[in-house]
């Protein structure tokens, strides 16, 4: 079947539909969908100073390209790139991000676990009996939030796509942690606490396959390899299960997202009362006395 719009050779069959598109029509469809999501959820306002979290992979690189394009059109908006080097040997390499920012005159800030916490993720994972992805997630969230405040960013944009979000929803469900799900959604956060910098996810309604196709067509200088730790994670198990199921029942991932969006306002309301205090050690926001980051750093001593 040729491209639905222009009858040229198709490059992709859109997930959850019978529509096939050629590369030119797909790029237009993809960009329209991103800008529509930004508008629908009021993600960006004039005067915003948006921090784009860029790891150098296909999702965040595509996001950087598109938000830079968006900022070029909207003069009252500025974007700043924030990258975090977790210290994963043979995997994390931020040189493509740094070069891109230089070439396009984009403000760039890089931080590393080694410099901020004294150890790389590789070293940490040998010291504590904890899944590397859990360590990585806790420390990355913490660094992004605290650095965003220091850099006076109004929001943080991440390259999370529909697959990532569907996995997170199911992971929280399987672990019985609905409070965590209340912090998901296209614009995150349950509290308007000044210590939390809101996160926006412009790729919320685009699948992993669509983002990978966009990045491939645009020839972004990104690696397509996987993090060595991803194989053994809880997320990887949920991802494989969800992919298998979606293979047989194509509407699955979209259904997970759409039904979640229906209950999200209720979840946000239910957990908006949770008390957020300041961590006794680092003063960062936490629901307990000591935050998970400080507990983790203590166990690494």
The crossing angle, in degrees rounded to 10, of helices 58-73 and 208-217 is 70
The site that binds ligand SF4 (CB under 6 A) totals a number of residues, namely 9
Alpha helices in 151-202 (DSSP H): 162-174, 178-181
Cα-based torsion angle of the residue sequence 234, 236, 239, 245 in order, rounded to the nearest 10 degrees? -90
- The backbone torsions φ and ψ at residue 216, rounded to the nearest 5 degrees and listed phi first, read -65, -45
159 binds ligand SF4 (CB under 6 A): no
Residue 253 CB partners (closer than 8 Å, separation 6+) = 15, 16, 162, 163, 166, 207, 242, 246
Closest to Zn ion by CB, 125 vs 286, is 286
Q: Which residues pair with 285 in a beta bridge?
A: 278
Question: H-helix or E-strand containing 138?
Answer: helix 132-150
CB of 248 to ligand SF4, least distance (A): 26
Among ligand SF4, Zn ion, none, the one that 250 touches (CB under a kind-dependent 5 to 8 A) is: none
274 binds ligand SF4 (CB under 6 A): no
Among ligand SF4, Zn ion, none, the one that 157 touches (CB under a kind-dependent 5 to 8 A) is: none
Closest to ligand SF4 by CB, 134 vs 154, is 134
CB of 297 to ligand SF4, least distance (A): 17
CB of 133 to ligand SF4, least distance (A): 3
Among Zn ion, ligand SF4, none, the one that 42 touches (CB under a kind-dependent 5 to 8 A) is: none
CB of 293 to Zn ion, least distance (A): 5
Closest to ligand SF4 by CB, 110 vs 263, is 110
Q: Which residues pair with 78 in a beta bridge?
A: 49
137 binds ligand SF4 (CB under 6 A): yes
Residues 2-21 that bind Zn ion (CB under 5 A): 3, 5-6, 8
25 binds Zn ion (CB under 5 A): yes
Among ligand SF4, Zn ion, none, the one that 6 touches (CB under a kind-dependent 5 to 8 A) is: Zn ion
The crossing angle, in degrees rounded to 10, of helices 292-299 and 132-150 is 120
233 binds ligand SF4 (CB under 6 A): yes
227 binds ligand SF4 (CB under 6 A): yes
Per CB under 6 A, the segment of 105-113, 128-136, 161-169, 242-250 that binds ligand SF4 is 128-136
Closest to Zn ion by CB, 108 vs 113, is 113
Question: H-helix or E-strand containing 31?
Answer: helix 23-40
Token pair 């004294």: residue? 118
Query: Do 6 and 240 contact (CB within 8 A), yes or no?
Result: no
> Cα–Cα distances in Å, from 161 out to 68, 214, 232, 236, 268?
18, 13, 21, 15, 21
Closest to Zn ion by CB, 25 vs 79, is 25
Contacts for 112-117: CB closer than 8 Å, 24+ residues apart: 112/84, 112/85, 112/86, 112/87, 113/84, 113/85, 113/86, 113/87, 113/139, 113/143, 114/85, 114/87, 116/143, 117/297, 117/300
294 binds Zn ion (CB under 5 A): yes
CB of 132 to ligand SF4, least distance (A): 5
Tell me which residues touch Zn ion (CB under 5 A).
3, 5-6, 8, 22, 25, 279, 281-282, 291, 294
Contacts with ligand SF4 by CB under 6 A lie at: 86, 132-133, 136-137, 227, 229-230, 233
């Amino acid at each position: 079947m040729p491209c639905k719009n222009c009858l040229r050779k198709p490059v992709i069959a859109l997930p959850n539909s019978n529509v096939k598109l050629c590369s030119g029509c797909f790029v237009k469809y993809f960009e329209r969908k991103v800008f529509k999501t930004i508008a629908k959820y009021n993600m960006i306002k004039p005067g915003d100073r948006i921090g784009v979290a860029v790891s150098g992979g296909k999702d965040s690189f595509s996001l950087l390209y598109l938000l830079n394009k968006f900022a070029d059109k909207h003069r009252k908006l500025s974007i700043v790139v924030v990258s975090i080097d977790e210290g994963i040997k043979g995997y994390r390499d931020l040189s493509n991000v740094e070069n891109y920012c230089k070439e396009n005159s984009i403000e760039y800030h890089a931080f590393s676990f080694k410099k901020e916490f004294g150890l790389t993720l590789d070293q940490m994972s040998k010291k504590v009996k904890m899944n590397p992805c859990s360590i990585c997630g806790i420390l990355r969230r913490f660094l992004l939030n605290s650095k965003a405040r220091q850099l006076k960013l109004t929001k943080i944009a991440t390259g999370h796509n529909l697959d990532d979000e569907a996995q997170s929803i199911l992971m929280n469900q399987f672990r019985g942690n609905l409070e965590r799900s209340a912090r998901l959604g296209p614009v995150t956060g349950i509290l308007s606490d000044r210590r939390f910098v809101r996160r926006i996810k412009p790729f919320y309604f685009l699948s992993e396959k669509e983002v990978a196709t966009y990045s491939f067509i645009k020839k972004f200088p990104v690696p397509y390899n996987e993090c060595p730790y991803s194989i053994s994670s809880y997320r990887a198990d949920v991802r494989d299960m969800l992919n298998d199921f979606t293979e047989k029942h194509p509407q699955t991932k979209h259904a997970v997202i759409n039904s979640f969006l229906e209950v999200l306002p209720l979840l946000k309301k239910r957990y908006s009362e949770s008390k957020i205090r300041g961590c006794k050690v680092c003063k960062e926001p936490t629901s307990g006395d000591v935050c998970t980051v400080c507990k983790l750093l203590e166990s690494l001593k």
